[in-house]
Amino acid sequence: MRELTPREIVAELDRHIIGQNDAKRAVAVALRNRWRWQQLPDEMRREVTPKNILMIGPTGVGKTEITRRLADLTGAPFVKVEATKYTEVGYYGRDVESIIRDLVESSLNMVRDRKRKDVEPEAQQRTEERLLDLLLHTQDSDAEDEPDVGLEAETDIETHERAERHARTREKFREMLRAGKLDDRSIELNVEQRQSPVQVFSNMGIEQMDLDMQNMLERIVPKKRHTRELKVAQARDVIFDQEVEALIDQDALQEDAIRLAEDSGVVFIDEIDKVCGSEEGRSADVSRQGVQRDLLPIVEGTTVQTKYGYLKTDNILFIAAGAFHRARPADMMPELQGRFPIRVELSELTRDDFVRILTEPNGAITKQHQALLSVEGITLTFQPDAIDALADIAFEVNQSTQNIGARRLHTILERLLEEISFDAPELKKKSISIDAAFVRERLEEISSSEDLSQFIL
């Protein structure tokens, strides 16, 4: 984990997310505490557990983005889930323990990418040698097809000369291969493909199978081998992937992935308010309370069996979020409430927030559209009064219809630039300036009608 101070973490988050300073400070402290925990002696580490966070706020204000950026910032395995996807054990739906299995898969991919970089130089060398073997084998096969005329037993000198010729030919091919002169030559390559046992079990799905049965089937199901004729350029990528996999110690990979998920994993549980309701509405969906009961041991610390080994959830950082329009945090099970001691309320976005969101972040939506249209050779410019007009419309539509936060800006920008994006390849004018008049012309009629804005924006 990168050693970042809370102030540095907030500064990094500010580059991508506007406002919500309280939430940023809370996750920054939680992350720093994670780093502090890793520095403690083993005896004390066992006593200290992460302080999980509950984010309360309407949709589109940055709850998911803060958590995702936080995970990217630290290089931690991250998984985002919706609580409504899970149901109490015994009902139709996903098992809550699959959250942890998904986290392990995320961790495995991260560790594999890191190990891949370590073995890439050797994998490149081995790939080159295998390609040379295949190319020379093809050439030798062609030579063997020619009729033998008066061949007698070779002397040692002739054998040595033939070996030297072969070595010179190999080096010549190596130079041509590195120069790309052999990329269009065809070679035959054996490719392995493991058949999936999922199809045998109707709609059951491999995730719902008992893990021991799943692992047994993966060992039993044979690998399907077939020969493909590929160009050298294509075969290089296939062989390189094979060599990388061969050089990576799979057992060590899985152990490192489990350890990384245990020590640095971040789980974001969205829509937590949808599985908790008031006393009156609880009987309407008996599974809601069951989801909370099933989540509780995962959050407070348990051991989950995955296909790569057992994982303890004691030190995983859980961040839950919800709008809590119809329910309150107090409607959660008391035991589950106690597992989220840090409460952060995110505020609704204001009109000034929309102006900043359109202009300040590194990946601002206006910059995204400018980059997309630049591919067509078009220079798109947003005047300051156009930014103000867009922010006004987004804020007004959010207030008059359903408030979806910053996501409203995406629908408005798409509507605003729809015609330009459609005509872009044929446009003669390669420089386009968007001002307030252009925005009003495209959007005023829709935004002024509550019915139209409800369905279009």
Q: Are residues 182 and 250 in the same domain?
A: yes
Residue with tokens 């580059």: 15
Strand duo 223-231 + 186-194: pairing: antiparallel
Q: Are 19 and 349 in contact (CB under 8 A)?
A: yes
Domain final residue pick, 255, 289, 310: 255
The answer to which of 67-71, 91-95, 347-351 has the lowest mean pLDDT is: 91-95
The phi and psi torsions of 395 (rounded to 5 degrees) equal -65, -45
Give the mean model confidence (pLDDT) for residues 415-437.
89
Q: Are 110 and 77 in contact (CB under 8 A)?
A: yes
**Residue 182 located in a structural domain:** yes
Q: Identify which of 414, 382, 411, 385 has the alpha carbon closest to the alpha carbon of residue 398.
A: 411
Q: Are 266 and 71 in contact (CB under 8 A)?
A: yes
CATH number at residue 71: 3.40.50.300
Q: Are residues 131 and 241 in the same domain?
A: yes
Q: Are residues 234 and 361 in the same domain?
A: no
pLDDT, position 283: 46
Q: Are residues 17 and 99 in the same domain?
A: yes
**Residue 27 located in a structural domain:** yes
Residue 72 has pLDDT above 90, yes or no: no
**Residue 452 located in a structural domain:** no
Q: Are residues 120 and 70 in the same domain?
A: no
Q: What is the spatial distance between Cα 311 and Cα 267, in angstroms, rounded to a whole number? A: 14
Q: Are residues 121 and 235 in the same domain?
A: yes
What value does the CA radius of gyration of the chain take, rounded to a whole number of Å?
30
Q: Angle at which helices 63-74 and 6-14 pack, to 10 degrees? A: 120
Q: For residue 230, give Cα distances in angstroms to 131, 182, 225, 233, 237.
A: 11, 12, 15, 8, 11
Residue with tokens 């599974």: 287
Q: Are 80 and 64 in contact (CB under 8 A)?
A: yes
Domain final residue pick, 255, 274, 291: 255
Strand duo 303-306 + 309-312: pairing: antiparallel
User: How many Cβ atoms are within 10 Å of 197's Cβ, its own excluded?
Assistant: 16
**323-333 residue pLDDT tens:** 888 888 888 88
Give the pTM: 0.77
Q: Are residues 411 and 290 in the same domain?
A: no
Residues 6 or more apart whose CB falls under 8 angstroms from that of 282 comprise 288, 289
Q: Which residue has the higher pLDDT, 295 or 225?
A: 295
Domain count, the chain: 3
Q: Are residues 297 and 421 in the same domain?
A: no
Domain enclosing residue 431, as ranges: 351-445
Q: Are residues 214 and 276 in the same domain?
A: no
The phi and psi torsions of 409 (rounded to 5 degrees) equal -65, -35
Q: Are residues 304 and 373 in the same domain?
A: no
**Residue 433 located in a structural domain:** yes
**199-257 residue pLDDT tens:** 444 333 444 455 556 666 666 666 666 777 888 888 888 888 888 888 888 889 999 99
**Residue 457 located in a structural domain:** no
Q: Are residues 239 and 280 in the same domain?
A: no
**Residue 415 located in a structural domain:** yes
Q: Identify which of 267, 362, 352, 316 has the alpha carbon closest to the alpha carbon of residue 12.
A: 362
For the ranges 131-140, 148-157, 356-365, the one whose mean pLDDT is highest: 356-365
**Residue 361 located in a structural domain:** yes
Torsion of CA 49, 51, 52, 57, to 10 degrees: 180
Q: Are 109 and 70 in contact (CB under 8 A)?
A: no
Q: Are residues 167 and 240 in the same domain?
A: yes
DSSP string, 9-30: HHHHHHTT--S-HHHHHHHHHH
Q: Residue type at 46?
A: R
Residues 6 or more apart whose CB falls under 8 angstroms from that of 172 comprise none
**244-268 residue pLDDT tens:** 888 888 889 999 999 999 988 999 9
Residue 284 has pLDDT above 70, yes or no: no
**Residue 66 located in a structural domain:** yes
Q: What H or E segment, with its residue span, contains residue 63?
A: helix 63-74
Q: What H or E segment, with its residue span, contains residue 105?
A: helix 98-144
Strand partners, 312: 303
Domain final residue pick, 203, 234, 255: 255
